[in-house]
Each structure stands twice: as C-alpha cells, then as structure tokens.
Amino acid sequence: MDTSRDFLQRLISGEETAWGELHRDHYPRLWSSVQRILNNPTLADDVVQEAFIKAHRDIRRFAGQSQLGTWLYRIAVNQALDTIRKRQRTERWLSFLSPLADDENQPAMPEGHVSPTASIGLENAELRETIFEAMAELTVEHRAVIQLRLIDEMSLEETAKLLRCRPGTVNSRLHYACEHLRRKLTKLKKPT
C-alpha cells in the first residue's frame, strides 16, 4: 500500500479510490483485532466501519508521526473499548432496573456493584424486551434522565444544566422513571 504524502493528500481530498485502497488493505487486520476484543462478529463489523468513518472525518488531523495503519488501528481499538464501556454501563443499569429481590428495602441506587444474580436476568430476552417497552412508555424527559444519569453517568449538576432544569427536578424525574420501570418489571416477575 502507498503510504506517501501523495496518498495521504488523496485521502485528505476525499478521493474515493484512495479510501477504497485504505479500506481494502486495513479492514481485515482491524476486524480481526476488534473481533478478538469484542467476541461478536456483527458488532466488530459495526465498530470497524465506525472507525473508518471517524478516520475519514479526522484525516486532516493525522500528523504523520506514526504509520497510517497504526493510526487506524488505534482508532478501531479505542472504538471497541468505548463500545464495551457503553455496553457495560447499559447492562449495569438494566441490571439495576431488574425486578427487586424479596428484600424491598434495597437502596434505590447501587453502591458501585451489581449483584451476581442481576446479570442472569439480562440474558432473558423477555426481560430485555419488557425493559425497552417500559422505557418507551416514559416521557422524553424521563428517558433523557435515565440516559444521562444512569447510562452516560453524568453528574447531577451536568444533567440539570444539560436539561435546563433544577437538580431537584432531575432527582424527581429519575425517581419517577425508576419506579415506573420497577413496577413494570415486577409485573413480569409475578406469575400470571
């Protein structure tokens, strides 16, 4: 593959042929590495494609202090790690929203860990579908609070500023949203 300044200039100018060559030459190695990290072929396809999109968007920032392939590799691996972190955050909070155990006095927010039994419920397709259905029933404001506070892990102050409301309003919306989701999930847990 051509790694000259001329090739880089072709990439910067958005030449489709140059991007095709770059994709052809690097996709297999990137996909293989990302697949080993994610252990999910479909997700690996998405992550590598996203890495190429990011590279296309940021090619002007490539300073040439490393090989182009190394730069692409770093982008792809970072994309894979970001994907894992996002999935872990999502699963942690979906676990938190799973039906409560018999002890109804559990704290409203986990103390940095999830019980081992919570992840078992995540593998249940019916539970996952019910969570998504319950989320869809929430107002936009309540879904936004769940996303920002629980999944994206923003601070109370950041969330309030972003949503242009008071911190107390954020807490109130979060409480309401979690209660709604718990009620919905508790119905799933009870035998019919």
CB 73 within 8 A of CB 80: no
pLDDT of residue 131: 76
* CATH for the stretch 97-189: 1.10.10.10
pLDDT of residue 116: 41
Q: What global pTM score does this model have?
A: 0.53
CA distance 184 to 135: 10
pLDDT of residue 189: 61
Averaged over successive runs of 10 residues, the pLDDT of the chain (192 residues) comes to: 76 92 94 87 93 93 84 90 79 59 42 40 63 82 83 82 89 90 75 54
Q: Which amino acid is at 147?
A: Q
Q: Where are the domains of the chain?
A: 5-89, 97-189
pLDDT of residue 153: 76
CB-CB neighbours of 43 under 10 Å? 17
pLDDT of residue 149: 84
pLDDT of residue 95: 63
CATH top-level class for 5-89? mainly alpha
Q: For residue 158, give the 3-state DSSP assignment.
A: helix
